[in-house]
Amino acid sequence: LHGDIFTEKCPTCHKEYIRNYEISTIGLQPTGRYCTSGGDPPGSCTGALIDTLLDWEDALPEVDWERSQVECAKAELILCLGTSLRIEPAGGLCTLGTGLGYVDAGAAEWDLDCGGYLDVDVASKKKSKKKGRKRHQLPPKKLGYVIVNLQETPYDDGATLVIRAKVDDVMERLMSKLGYGSDWDGNDDDDRVDEHEQGQDGKNGDDEDED
């Protein structure tokens, strides 16, 4: 919701680029690079890329905010990993895991009873009885939310479980318990856009080294 320090995007075609280095700008500002693989046909867009990190005055992306509410409302259990949960309204999303939270009226109407439905007009974010409105079956049982964070959060008291530990340590043990190996995160360098793939001028070439 608040952006990714490793991601930049094209505001023209909405193509996202995940880098293996930190993006140096903040506040949806131009990064100095250009889109090389977006557009129709692919590669036809040359829009200027911007960072995805929100500054204090920036509004939440509507599509992402709406989807986050829908997914949290559908979830049986929500994991809050390495977050202070102090930035609202995103911090309050965890309460949707208890069945007692709320979804913005403009984004959805939903029945708090177990087994009810979450009704969402994703396209317009308005209450609607038109055909095509998405209906999501709520999980039969809400398990609440689990917080993994070294510091206290405003939502600790309502959590099903609070773990005071580093996220990496907890996830390594959890994934091992579930039968996954050390490569469970699925990171593959081939899936990322290498820092030398695209020059600052948007053409293929080597970027200058930065200290």
What residues act catalytically? 2
Its sign, for the CA torsion 139, 162, 171, 6, is: positive
The 3-state DSSP class for residue 94 equals helix
Residue tagged 């952006």 (tokens): 3
Using left for φ > 0, alpha for ψ between -120 and 50, and beta otherwise, residue 122 falls in alpha
Q: How many CB atoms lie within 10 A of CB 23?
A: 21
Q: What are the residues whose beta carbons fall under 8 Å from the beta carbon of 130, sequence distance 6 or more?
A: 121
Calpha distance 128→156 (Å, rounded):
36
